[in-house]
Structure 1
Amino acid sequence: MIAESLARPSMNEPVEWTDGGSPRSPRFDDLYRSRYGGLAQARAVYLAGCGLPGRWQGRRDFTVLETGFGLGLNFLCTWAAWEGDAQRCEQLNFVSVEAYPVAAADLLRSVQSLAAMDGDQAPLLARVQVLAAELAAAWSEWSPGLHEIRFADGRVQLILAVGQVLPMLARLSSCQADAVYLDGFTPALNPDMWSTDTLTAMARLCQPGATVASYSVALAVRETLQSLGFTVKKRPGLPPKRHRLEATFERLRVTAAAA
């Protein structure tokens, strides 16, 4: 594991658990995942929204950029999908920005609690729980900076960018994203994660043809993505949400104000 840290002490972010078993952030007063099924959300909104696993098939490498690692469920489901795909890319890179990492115990509790919501996806759930144990074993009390963890004999690389989103995206200037998961807490409660500056910084890291997926179809988010050079579509969402977002990057268009 390679770590590049800044000089600030580490601290695990507290997680509260609702009576129904859903993880909640007291900082943002919001749930970490859909109470209707975390696996279903990861697969339907993020993997399918970015055209995965199909888009990585036959590739030498494939890079996913995520804003908001949270409890790691998108990473775990992406890893599981890659592992189960005979035509997978040789190398999967998953780069995720997270300002407030949680404890390893909460990562494990999160996947254990999925049985009540995603019991109809038992094979996937069982595999995700195994992968979560591997992730938790490699977990730490992360200090701010870039941290690299490798799994699957080095063929799955997780780069955890711990810190506020804009400085971390700036430090990821060599990233060339093929897919982007926008998964911060809701824009109304965590506006910095969805600001024009943040989305512009994200777009600078995208390769032409990169796909973007999100549960949020907020008008400001859609309009900003369109202004930056993305083709944006609203798709049927995962209940209780009516819609989800899919976008495809064409070329960067940046106004003078955002440059």
Structure 2
Amino acid sequence: MQDQQAGIDWRDGDVPVSTRFDDPYFSLENGLAETRHVFLAGNDLPARFRDGFHIAELGFGTGLNLLAALHAWRAGGVAGRLIFTSFEAFPMAAPDMRRAQSRFPDLAPLAAELAPHWRGGGQRITLPDLDFTLVEGDARKTLNHWPDKADAWFLDGFSPAKNPELWQPDLMESVARHTAKRGTAATYTAAGFVRRGLEAAGFSVSRVPGYGRKRHMTRAVLDRQ
């Protein structure tokens, strides 16, 4: 349905901005550098990678985080398969994903490899080193029915001020229930209510330096099981 699709305005050539949330899909400064700082380093990756390591994500967007994680996995020569599950309410159309990904030349070979797989909705991609699932729908509903647990979470919804639904305490509680022992979570936001929601869910939360103009971001480790 049309109202379930991502609405996009393009700025500076190939920077997608959500018309629904009036927020860019990635940093206007350097989206790949931000992903590596916030979501990879924020979850102590690639150091923790091992066969079957499971990343879960709230907010798939352009697929940049997936590409960056798989790029790091391959660069590290990790044996086995990375598992990556992303929850997205408003999937981006496949041509728009490819256009957005073209902004990152470091990832161009990987983006080209995955390009034929994109359908612009819920789907699964299985490669020798990747098991990827995109779960389409409102994460407040779909996550409750998810049977797995993640070793690391990328919490990458739009700004909490513009997309508060994806940062509510009930959803953070659901994230905690679907996190493996000593699992981690990271996000670009340091909003107080997000940190408090993670703490209430059982995470030990730290406010650490953010990327670029964002002074702080959030890292979390699950203490409760």
Pairwise TM-score range, normalised by the shorter structure: over 0.9
The counterpart of 1:37, out of the listed 3, 13, 30, is 30
What is the one-letter code of the residue matched to 1:96? S
Structure-to-structure mapping, 1:48-59, within 5 angstroms: 48-56=41-49, 59=50
Post-superposition offset of 1:60: 3.0
Larger Rg: 1
Indicate conservation of the 8 Å contact 2:23/2:158, yes or no. yes
Indicate conservation of the 8 Å contact 2:4/2:89, yes or no. no
| Identical residues among aligned pairs (%) | 39
What is the one-letter code of the residue matched to 2:95? A
In the alignment, what sits opposite 1:122? none
- Asked whether 1:184 is paired with 2:157, we answer yes
How many residues in Structure 1 have an aligned counterpart in Structure 2?
225
Structure-to-structure mapping, 1:111-126, within 5 angstroms: 111-114=101-104, 125-126=105-106
Secondary structure, counterpart of 2:42 in structure 1:
helix
In the alignment, what sits opposite 1:118? none
- Asked whether 1:147 is paired with 2:123, we answer yes
Indicate conservation of the 8 Å contact 1:68/1:183, yes or no. yes
For residues 219 and 54 of structure 2, the distance between their equivalents in structure 1, rounded to whole angstroms, comes to 17
In the alignment, what sits opposite 1:72? 63
Secondary structure, counterpart of 1:216 in structure 2:
coil
Q: Which runs of 5+ in 1 are unaligned?
A: 1-7, 115-124, 253-259
Post-superposition offset of 1:72: 0.5
Per-residue CA deviation, residues 207-255 of structure 1 (Å, 9 max, x unaligned), is 1111111001100011111111111111111111001111111114xxx
Indicate conservation of the 8 Å contact 1:211/1:248, yes or no. yes
TM-score by length of 1: 0.82
Secondary structure, counterpart of 1:61 in structure 2:
coil
Secondary structure, counterpart of 1:35 in structure 2:
coil
What is the one-letter code of the residue matched to 1:15? I
Per-residue CA deviation, residues 58-93 of structure 1 (Å, 9 max, x unaligned), is x3310001000000100000000001112x252210
Post-superposition offset of 1:134: 2.5
For residues 79 and 33 of structure 2, the distance between their equivalents in structure 1, rounded to whole angstroms, comes to 23
For residues 160 and 100 of structure 1, the distance between their equivalents in structure 2, rounded to whole angstroms, comes to 11
Q: Which runs of 5+ in 2 are unaligned?
A: none
Secondary structure, counterpart of 2:85 in structure 1:
strand
Post-superposition offset of 1:19: 3.4
The counterpart of 2:211, out of the listed 238, 241, 244, is 238
